């Protein structure tokens, strides 16, 4: 059996959500757990016929076993019309087998997103991303206001999870508060998973 890990699963078209995923992974590792970065392919009407098995760069595509065997999950998507992007939803809609066997019940999970406009639906996206995770019986980890960056941020950052304001051109980098909150979610997921993990004899 492999060491416990937090699955950091995301979709990113232009790189902003991917950078958040890397910061969350840093937080997981700072808390002493392994982070497994995975992504999903884009979808089109014939995606399964055309997507290469291994992406040209970046994280590997997620497999159902990555999700099944994780100790916790961070799920990230760009905001698209106030909701998560279709490629991530497509993957989630294929997880019924894990739902049937209750594989994810009791595991900690958190969500993150990036938008081009500051009030363009970060919170609606984060809340709607939690819905399938609740159906799976996962334990929601948001961000507590003891994280000072939540009160100081002039960009992204919500109690429902980390967020990033990428700007109209998508070029705004993660600022110090957004980075702090990404890392805080990673640390929180890792610490919670470590507490929940059944000791192996
Ligand atoms: C189809 C589509 C819908 C979008 N909807 C929103 C939206 O509702 N609100 C918003 O602020 N940005 C919206 N965006 C912009 C993305 O959320 C934003 O560029 C994000 O930072 C991209 O993340 P990425 O770099 O990880 O791909 C949308 C982009 C696309 C392509």
Instruction: Summarize pLDDT for 74-121 with one digit per residue, the tens.
Output: 999 999 999 999 999 999 999 999 999 999 999 999 999 999 999 999
- The protein residue whose alpha carbon is closest to atom 30 in ligand 1 is 80
Length of the chain as a residue count = 201
Residue with tokens 């055309």: 50
Q: Residues near ligand 1 with C-beta < 6 Å?
A: 12-18, 78-82, 114-117, 120-121, 166, 170
Distance from C-alpha of 156 to C-alpha of 105, rounded to nearest angstrom = 29
pLDDT for 200 equals: 45
pLDDT for 201 equals: 37
- The protein residue whose alpha carbon is closest to atom 16 in ligand 1 is 115
Distance from C-alpha of 184 to C-alpha of 13, rounded to nearest angstrom = 24
**Total domains present in the chain:** 1
Q: What is the mean pLDDT of residues 18-22?
A: 98
Q: From the CA of 133, how far away is ligand 1's center (Å)? A: 22
Q: What is the mean pLDDT of residues 34-55?
A: 83
Q: Give the containing element (helix H, strand E) for 16.
A: helix 16-30
* CATH assignment of the domain containing 127: 3.40.50.360
pLDDT for 49 equals: 59
By the 8 A CB rule, do 195 and 6 touch?
Answer: no
Does the predicted model carry a pTM greater than 0.75?
Answer: yes
Domain that holds residue 117: 5-197
Distance from C-alpha of 41 to C-alpha of 72, rounded to nearest angstrom = 22
Q: From the CA of 115, how far away is ligand 1's center (Å)? A: 5
- The answer, yes or no, to whether residue 48 has pLDDT greater than 90, is no
């Amino acid at each position: 059996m492999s060491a416990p890990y937090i699955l950091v699963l995301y979709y990113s078209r232009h790189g902003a959500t991917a950078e958040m995923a890397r910061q969350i992974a840093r937080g997981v590792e700072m808390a002493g757990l392994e982070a497994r970065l995975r992504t999903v392919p884009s979808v089109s009407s014939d995606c399964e016929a055309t997507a290469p098995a291994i992406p040209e760069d970046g994280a590997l595509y997620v497999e159902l076993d990555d999700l099944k065997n994780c100790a916790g999950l961070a799920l990230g998507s760009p905001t698209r019309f106030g909701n998560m992007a279709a490629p991530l939803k497509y993957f989630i809609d294929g997880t019924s087998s894990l739902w049937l066997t209750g594989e994810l019940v009791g595991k900690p999970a958190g969500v993150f997103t990036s938008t081009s406009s500051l009030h363009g639906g970060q919170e609606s996206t984060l809340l709607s991303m939690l819905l399938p995770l609740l159906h799976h019986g996962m334990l929601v980890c948001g961000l507590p206001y003891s994280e000072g960056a939540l009160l100081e941020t002039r960009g992204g950052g919500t109690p429902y999870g980390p967020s990033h304001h990428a700007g109209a051109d998508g070029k705004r980098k993660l600022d110090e508060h957004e980075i702090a909150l990404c890392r805080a979610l990673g640390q929180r997921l890792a610490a919670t998973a470590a507490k929940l993990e059944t000791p192996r004899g």
